[in-house]
Amino acid sequence: MVFRRYRWPIFLVVGGIFLLTTFPLSAHFATTSVFPETTSEIPKHTSAPEISSEIVVEDIVSESYTCPATPPNPAVSPDTQGRFNWRSIRKHHPVKEYIQIPLNKSPTKVLIQHHFEVASTETKHKLAIRKQAVQEVFKRCWRSYKARAWTKDELAPISGGAKDTFGSWGATLVDSLDTLWIMGMKDDFAEAVDAAIQIDFGPKIDGEINVFETIIRYLGGFLGAYDVSGCHDARLLHKAIEVADMAYASFDTPNRMPVSRWSPRKAVEGEEQLPAESVLIAEAASASVEFTRLSQLTGDMRYFDAISRVTDVLDKQQGLTKLPGMWPISVNMRKPDLTFDGFFGLGAMADSVYEYLPKMYQLLGANGPVAAQYQRMYDYAMSTAIAHTLFRPMVHDKADILIAGASINGEREDKGQHLVCFAGGMLALGGKLFDNRTHVSIGRKISEGCAWTYKNAPNGIMPEVFSMIACPTMSECNYTIPAGSSPFKNVDDGRYVLRPEAIESIFYMYRITGDSKYQDIAWEMFQAINTHTRTDLANAAISDVMKTPVEKYDSMESFWLAETLKYFYLIFSDPDEISLDEFVFNTEAHPFRIPRG
């Protein structure tokens, strides 16, 4: 593949950056009250969108990259271009010596992906059509975002307005950068980068920010864009440092545990902020992949130091919780005490803590003491999760599938949720990394469980939260469910908010097994989602997937462009495009390059 350097536009796009005051509660934790203000008409598109006869398959990732194989020495210094420098604020609890990424003299390349044969011309053509269909949907949304919500956090896809929901820094702009690159939209990428580097992450926000969302969307967005475009544009790295330095300031506490809902203004005014006594584990402990990648790219170990201290607390208390091996949803980071709550699960509010265990192992080169620590923690967590949270649902067609539920005070809760669908991909990835076939097989059953609920839901889209009847064990079932009955015992939350987790796992299954049935599953899912979420401008969340016709509401979170459409696009792409042997995805689907020493 020939490297095509992208061209910078000759004009400068100066985006207006509008800063509002506070973050909302993390959107993926909200389960109530976000219901439609507007109900759009019955979708015009009830089948696959029309495809132009000329199929353009563009190459995406440069083979020529300049990303460092080992952390630079001396470290890269920040260049904020005259904007606020978060390193300048008063430190209450400075670190004397930073924990270093161990020098990994022999990083191991664990091959994750299936060895794919060259596809036939017919298959290539079919996939190119599908890929173009996904790209068309993305382009449409991007055009509307540009026209109506440029530099705002989100486009309102029904009313055509704009929303600020994640810090008012332009969440969709930054979250979409690497998708633009991957989809070959190089001029749009250049224009978006020019706008994104103008963002001011200074302390203009009066309320609290959600540090977790800032890290996964903004820091992840800049790092992903820098890595996929070959580490050529230093402006992206400096922007990553700028936002990371703000997030890093939230770790300036007596025990170096972060403040998850943190006030930039208080920090600048020198006011001490303490970690919360009750905080969601996902928010408190999910920065490892982003901070490690930033330390790898800059040689600055403050980020790796910060997350290593959190990992060590997780490690020490992993066996002391009410369900040893797993950490509960609610934890006290002030003490820190991770042992008091009895609610456990791989899904909402905990998800990325588990997701990042195998991903850290891979990012660290699958070798050395820290990688081994993450492997040990993953193994322990998964053996508990498999034994205590998974169940086989009793379904009319006797499908051999699994659903990841929860454990509440020792009792399994037989509920599924869209958010937990990522676990299929995580277990398949972990199974490949650690040569554990059982995990690959369980990952497959969870991924297919999510695909099954899509297929069997009335409009081909699974609801946000639902319960199902469980078989007595994972291997036996008496199947008393009559054909034609509802796939769900109950639907607790019928929304579909354009989430990625189901297609994410189907994408992992395809890249890991090479089985083309996953591409067909993905195509069905894509058509159902696009048909029912499409608006005149873009795509919108659904308030109840169980109703026909579905009702949409005026929301399109940035992860639709950052994650959902990216995974749909990549499953129909050449498997070498963002290969799982070369990249690790953060929890917001931003691909980070695995360094090769």
Site residues for ligand DMJ per CB under 6 A: 28, 216, 351-352, 419, 499-500, 559, 587-588
The smaller minimum CB distance to ligand DMJ, of residues 351 and 551, is found at: 351
Tokens read off for 151: 């530099």
Q: To the nearest whole angstrom, how small is the minimum distance from the Cβ of residue 375 to ligand DMJ?
A: 22
Q: To the nearest whole angstrom, how small is the minimum distance from the Cβ of residue 106 to ligand DMJ?
A: 32
| Cα–Cα nearest to 588, from 47, 270, 222, 49 | 222
The smaller minimum CB distance to ligand DMJ, of residues 247 and 477, is found at: 247
| Axis-axis angle for helices 234-249, 288-298 (nearest 10) | 130
Phi/psi for 119 (5° steps) reads: -75, 155
- Quote the CA–CA distance of 218 and 211 in Å, as a whole number: 10
The smaller minimum CB distance to ligand DMJ, of residues 179 and 273, is found at: 179
The smaller minimum CB distance to ligand DMJ, of residues 464 and 574, is found at: 464
CA distances from 183 to 55, 137, 187, 235, 539 (A): 14, 12, 11, 21, 18
Active site residues: 213, 351, 464, 501
Say if CB 292 and CB 363 are below 8 A apart.
yes
Q: To the nearest whole angstrom, how small is the minimum distance from the Cβ of residue 174 to ligand DMJ?
A: 13
Q: To the nearest whole angstrom, how small is the minimum distance from the Cβ of residue 37 to ligand DMJ?
A: 21
Tokens read off for 522: 């993905």
What lies within 8 Å, CB to CB, of 131 at 6+ separation is: 57, 569, 572, 573
Q: To the nearest whole angstrom, how small is the minimum distance from the Cβ of residue 28 to ligand DMJ?
A: 4
CA distances from 550 to 97, 105, 149, 533, 566 (A): 56, 55, 25, 9, 24
The smaller minimum CB distance to ligand DMJ, of residues 499 and 593, is found at: 499
Residue 8 DSSP label: P
The smaller minimum CB distance to ligand DMJ, of residues 357 and 366, is found at: 357
Secondary structure of 91-150 in HEC code, one letter for each residue = CCCCCCCCCCCCCCCCCCCCCCCCCCCCCCHHHHHHHHHHHHHHHHHHHHHHHHHHHHCC
Q: To the nearest whole angstrom, how small is the minimum distance from the Cβ of residue 5 to ligand DMJ?
A: 31
The smaller minimum CB distance to ligand DMJ, of residues 351 and 544, is found at: 351
In the bound state, the residue with its beta carbon closest to ligand DMJ is 587
- Quote the CA–CA distance of 173 and 197 in Å, as a whole number: 11
Q: To the nearest whole angstrom, how small is the minimum distance from the Cβ of residue 332 to ligand DMJ?
A: 22
- b/e code 255-289 from CB counts within 10 Å (16+ = b): ebbbbbbbbbeebbeeeebebbeebbbbbbbbbbb
Phi/psi for 22 (5° steps) reads: -130, 160
